[in-house]
Structure 1
Amino acid sequence: MIIGISLGVSNSPSTLKPLLVALIFHQFLEGMGLGGCISQVTTLIHTVFHHIYTQARFKVRSMLTMGLFFSLTTSAGVVIGIGISSVYNENSPSSLITQGILDSVAAGILIYMALVDLLTADFMNPKVQSNVKLQVMINFALLLGARLMSLLAKWA
């Protein structure tokens, strides 16, 4: 939501374009990560709860709820940001400080989500922990991805 708010309050094209490009890439990649997690949970449900229909149905409902909230939170944040930006002077010191704080919080959330929510599960997987070659490969992929995202930030 905060990422959407910072996008919504950005009125100038020079700040809007980089935020939009970053948000598109971030949402796409995070959506793929969420889809992978939902897929793993679905597989677990079918193997463990196949004989208990009500519990499996509850899990499917929670997965649909996660997907719905994922798709709506940034959009709701953009709407809130547009509403906020229409009632204040964008060049006043307090609004510039507020926008800077929102941008900083949004960047921190993106970093936290990437490091804690997405990468930790992959790096702590027992298959990865027991295979040195796989550890080297995923660390290389992580550094390559960070480099590519840095180039994207420089370009945008």
Structure 2
Amino acid sequence: MIIQDKNGTEFEAFAAAQTTGRVEVIDFMVSAPSREILEQVALVSNLMVQDDDGNLRDAPNCVSSWIGHPVEVAAVLDADGETVTTPAILSPDYLVNWRLGPRERLGRDEDGFELWQLTCAAWALQGVTVQLTATLRAYELNGVRQIDCKAVQTPLRVWAR
């Protein structure tokens, strides 16, 4: 999606706006070397908060989907289709998806600028663009990558008949 920073400069944000009924939400896909780094980013970006006991939880109007280390190279199975001859190789990156919304309830700064847009602007304008695969790119800032979710292919849910 194309959005503007506070100065009116347009840039491509690696976030997706989804509308379900009348509710608009914003989705981010982010990776880093560890969950701890992602939690620090989430705290600074107001995506998570720390309760009185020191535990982290999702901030209001934010849902975190912690994915972990995805499979980078699939396992190889024997001819029987059940015995693993070569184990899968996991990605060194830890993934999380953040869904923010409803959009009208999301935080704004003193100028009325949406906080998620400030986060996108930091990645896009201060980070560097990296090519993760032939079709997948990301903005990287301080070792954390905001992934271009348009290029991510996910299988659809198939219901039994």
- Structure 1 and Structure 2 fold alike (TM over 0.5): no
When Rg is computed on C-alpha atoms for both structures, the one with the higher figure is: 1
TM-score normalised by structure 1 residue count: 0.28
Higher-RCO chain (CA-CA 8 Å, sequence separation at least 6): 1
TM-score normalised by structure 2 residue count: 0.27
Higher helix share: 1
